Amino acid sequence: MAAQQNVKSDKKDKLLVIACGMLAREILAVKEQLKLDHLELTCLPAEFHFYPDRIAPAMDKAVTEARAEGYEHIFIGYADCGTGGHLDKVCEKHGVERMDGPHCFAFYQRMEEYRKIADDDMMSFYMTDFLCRQFDAFFMKPLGLDKHPELIADYFGNYDKLIYLAQTDDPELDKVAVAAAKMLGLAYERRPTGYGDLPMGLAHAASVAGISK
């Protein structure tokens, strides 16, 4: 019992970020960048990107379990991400905050800037560093494009441009994005965004928790 109490006590001094698996590498990079040594990270499956209805129930369970483990300071590393406000209800239930915005493509570009270009980007297909790294696993194979390229028009026919939101400067990822745009028959644009509002969101959460360092 004493050992269990000590574990819970240790977690009181931590900031737990429960995030989308698509953001794991970026959150850890920001943690190092801002020296947020007390930040701990756990992720829900990245594939929930395709199943937004699963996010809120899974997050509800994850936060409940984290509270039981002794975490008092929790931040949600998601925007709304297609949950239609259901994630906000989970946040309200547990008294936690999340990243501002409709999705990561917005806060990567910084919300203030995204609001200016959102309408113009309506017909654009966004890619990030993660999606470049996982293009085959997230698009080619699940959609069957590796075996049936004729399906490209069905899935991507309503887009007119591929926009690569680059978190890092990696020529190999650039090549993937360019090749994807060519394969999908879309115009190409690269936007170097860095981590956008993510550092600000994590720094705010750490500050509110009183454990910014």
CA-CA distance, 53 to 81, in Å (whole number)?
Answer: 10
Verify that 99 and 121 share a domain, yes or no: no
Verify that 188 and 202 share a domain, yes or no: no
Task: Find the helix or strand (DSSP H, E) in which 204 lies.
Answer: helix 198-209
Distance of alpha carbon 168 from the chain centroid: 15
Verify that 204 and 101 share a domain, yes or no: yes
Write down the pTM of the prediction: 0.91
DSSP-derived letter for residue 83 is S
Count CB atoms within 10 A of the CB of residue 26. 24
**Residue 32 maps to which CATH number?**
3.40.50
Verify that 123 and 163 share a domain, yes or no: yes
Verify that 124 and 176 share a domain, yes or no: yes
Structural domain range at position 136: 112-192
Angle CA 204–208–212, to nearest 5: 70
Verify that 12 and 88 share a domain, yes or no: yes
**Cα(first)–Cα(last) distance of the chain, in Å?**
30
pLDDT per residue rounded down to tens, the chain (213 residues): 444 555 566 888 899 999 999 999 999 999 999 999 999 999 999 999 989 999 999 999 999 999 999 999 999 999 999 999 999 999 999 999 999 999 999 999 999 999 999 999 999 999 999 999 999 988 888 877 778 888 888 878 899 999 999 999 999 999 999 999 999 999 999 999 999 999 999 999 999 988 755
Based on the structure, what is the number of domains in the chain? 2
Do the Cβ atoms of 152 and 186 come closer than 8 Å? Answer: no
Q: b/e map of 77-95 (b: 16 or more CB within 10 Å)?
A: bbbbbbbeebbeebbeebe
